[in-house]
Amino acid sequence: METINVHPSYSSSSADLILLSDDGIKFRVHSIVLAPASRFFRDMFGMPRPAVENNDDALPMGESSEIIKTILDIIYPHDVDPILPSTTFAFLRSLLSAAERFDFIRVNHYLRLLTKAETFTTRLLEVYALACTFGWAKEARALSLQTLNLDLSSPYYADVLKSIDSAALYNLLQLRWKRKQKVLEVATKLEEGRIDDIWVCDCDEGPELAFWNYLKAFVGEEMDNCPDGSGLRSREFWQQGGLDGLWDTKCNTCFGPCVDKSAVRDAFIKVLNDVVTEDMEWKNMGSE
């Protein structure tokens, strides 16, 4: 038996098929394992075979030896879970792409479970990209909401964003736009005097339009920076100096403050809570 360039983990003399990696490594494998794990190989084994064939002929896989070994480690029966040589986004994407190409469903399922581990909680956008690409619809919905606190304009996320197809990227951005729009509707209602609970006095006076415009601009910028709205829930946001003109405006009739700062804040938080409820209902819609 040829042992040169044969991977030591897959060099069985009882193998009836040889897989060849791009980097020249051979894997001696068993059709009895590959057939149940892959419709591609099951169909291939079901095709008529020549009466005389060379058992040393290798099947080029078009994948690196690292990818092939990882796939085999996942589909072959073992007493312990397979150890991936890497969990980088690029490797996981390549692994899933190869598994999809050869229809190794178990590999997809294994990685789908793996990405739910605690070690991936800081890599939400990466997992979202994988979920959108490889059919994890339920996870994609949940993760799209969890990414709302990420600054997608950061160069750190550029490569991952480029890997996401246009529809999935649009859905991700649409969640952000929707939240911002809903929140800015509150600012518009305040500006037009359509929210009564914010007034301290009953006099028919209020702050100048410019002060409401300042508030709208501040809120819009904050929602761009942190689309989950957590900044608006912070009292520090409402204490910043740029809004002092709104809070300090006095009524020309009763000489008291016109606007209740806490009531204004509560108006924004109420709509944020409503949007969160809507998003949670959307996340739980349907099933796979």
Q: Are 111 and 130 in contact (CB under 8 A)?
A: yes
Predicted pLDDT at 288? 46
One digit per residue, the tens of pLDDT, for the chain of length 288 reads 455 699 999 999 999 999 999 999 999 999 999 999 999 999 999 887 665 455 568 999 999 999 999 999 999 998 888 999 999 999 999 999 999 999 999 999 999 999 999 999 999 999 999 999 999 999 999 999 999 999 999 999 999 999 999 999 999 999 999 999 999 999 999 888 888 888 887 776 677 878 899 999 999 999 998 999 999 999 999 999 889 999 988 888 888 888 899 999 999 999 999 999 998 888 887 444
Residue 151 in tokens:
């600054």
Predicted pLDDT at 3? 53
Rounded Cα distance between 166 and 175, Å, is 14
Q: Where are the domains of the chain?
A: 178-275
Predicted pLDDT at 50? 62
Predicted pLDDT at 53? 52
- The alpha carbon torsion through 152, 155, 160, 163 (nearest 10 deg) reads 100
Beta carbons within 8 Å of 145's beta carbon, 6+ residues apart: 175, 279, 280, 283
Residue 133 in tokens:
């690409």
Using alpha carbons, list the distances in angstroms from residue 176 to 155, 187, 208: 19, 17, 30
Predicted pLDDT at 224? 92
Predicted pLDDT at 1? 45
Predicted pLDDT at 111? 98
DSSP 37-97: HBHHHHHHHHS---SS--TT-EEE-SS-HHHHHHHHHHHS--SS----S---HHHHHHHHH
